Amino acid sequence: MTAAAGTARTPLPRARRRLVVPGLLLAVLAAVLLSVTVGAKPVSPGDVWHALWSPDGGESDIIVRGLRVPRTLLGLLAGPALGVAGALAQGHTRNPLADPGLLGVTQGAAFATVLSIVLFRLDGVYGYIWFGLAGALIAGGAVFAIGLAGGRGGPTPVTLALAGTAVSALLYALTSTVVLLDQQAMDVFRFWQIGSIAGRDAAIAGQVLPFVAAGLILAFANARGLDALALGDDVARGLGRRVPLTRTVGLASITLLTGAAVAACGALAFVGLIVPHLARALAGADHRRLLLYSALTGAALLLLADVLGRVVARPGELEVGVVLALLGAPFFVVLIRRGRAVRL
């Protein structure tokens, strides 16, 4: 369950480290530009500028303002949210294979979404986004409560991981049972489960923005404590850290970030798993840098995967959840074979 080796990755030299943030910001900027210009109908940067600042209702204006800007904004929220949540989940469980789904949050959102479809016949993301968010928060709280009951002095990495696995398995079984009994729920849930940032307008991004912002604030407030926990709970206590409080803040951040992203976009696999490993290769053991790099890497990765899905299946497109799964699985296998994904 724990990392296979406790050796911390050596950070980049200071001179090269200064180039990381500007480099990642340029990658995010390039991804944003591609996201608003590339698609079934290419739009030039000049037309994008015209659509943003002096729209006249033309076709390019409708495409940019009505379709591409909203999904780009959602990618800029969901990518950092899942990347940072993944880094926190791996740090708090000391498990290099952990992602936000390990703590039951994703399945909590899924089960609540299915219930909203079956009980209230909601059929759009506007209807069930709040159910998904509530389900994620309740499931995250349940995992923490179970983990708290199973560990003396607060939840431990093992009790959190076990509680998350048990809650996820239970919610997955309940979700599967409900969708098998209701054809409409199965049809709607199947699309939500794939994961997508298409078909949402800017209002969806506005609804989840407060939760993502709160989750990111808690995450960076949790970074110092997570540095201490990486040395072991006893050492952290010796350094004056309040371990239960640190874990509470960490789990609250994971729940807010994952719940908001999953409720708005569906279950986007692999972002929370891969991004922390990419960021850790640049950040070393410092969680403040790791969280910052994970946020920027997550934004760039999600937007670029979404753009790739539009290009490879023209005139249609692949949902970003499918692209992430197709790219993420082999990439993660390569990381494991090189021994880069088993050290925290």
**Residue-averaged pLDDT of the chain:** 84
Q: Within a domain: residue 188?
A: yes
How far apart, in whole angstroms, are the C-alpha atoms of residue 237 and residue 193? 41
Q: Within a domain: residue 211?
A: yes
Structure-token match 């949402």, residue found: 200
pLDDT of residue 170: 93
156 touches 95 (CB < 8 A): no
CATH number of the structural domain spanning residue 163: 1.10.3470.10
Q: Within a domain: residue 15?
A: no
What tokens does 217 get?
A: 């604030």
How far apart, in whole angstroms, are the C-alpha atoms of residue 341 and residue 273? 10
Q: Within a domain: residue 137?
A: yes
Q: Looking at the 3D structure of the chain, how many domains does it have?
A: 1
Q: pLDDT above 90 covers what percent of the chain?
A: 26
Output 302 or 98, whichever has higher pLDDT.
302
- 262 Cα distance to chain centroid: 8
Output 312 or 125, whichever has higher pLDDT.
312
pTM recorded for the entire structure? 0.87
Q: Of the ranges 86-95, 219-228, 312-321, which one carries the lowest mean pLDDT score? A: 312-321
**What average pLDDT score do residues 193-222 get?**
89
What tokens does 63 get?
A: 């495409």
112 touches 244 (CB < 8 A): no
pLDDT of residue 293: 95
Q: Within a domain: residue 210?
A: yes
Position 214 pLDDT exceeds 90:
yes
**What average pLDDT score do residues 98-122 get?**
84
Output 13 or 73, whichever has higher pLDDT.
73
Q: How confident is the model over 6-60, as pLDDT tens digits?
A: 444 555 677 677 788 999 999 999 999 999 998 878 888 888 888 888 888 788 8
The parent domain of residue 255 ranges over 44-338
What tokens does 336 get?
A: 């494991």
Q: How confident is the model over 276-287, as pLDDT tens digits?
A: 988 988 887 789
pLDDT of residue 297: 95
Output 157 or 304, whichever has higher pLDDT.
304
Range list of H helices, the chain: 14-17, 20-37, 45-53, 59-61, 69-93, 105-120, 125-150, 157-181, 183-194, 202-221, 223-229, 233-238, 243-265, 271-283, 287-312, 320-337
Q: Within a domain: residue 331?
A: yes
Q: Within a domain: residue 38?
A: no
Confidence bin at 77 (pLDDT 50/70/90): very high
Q: Within a domain: residue 86?
A: yes
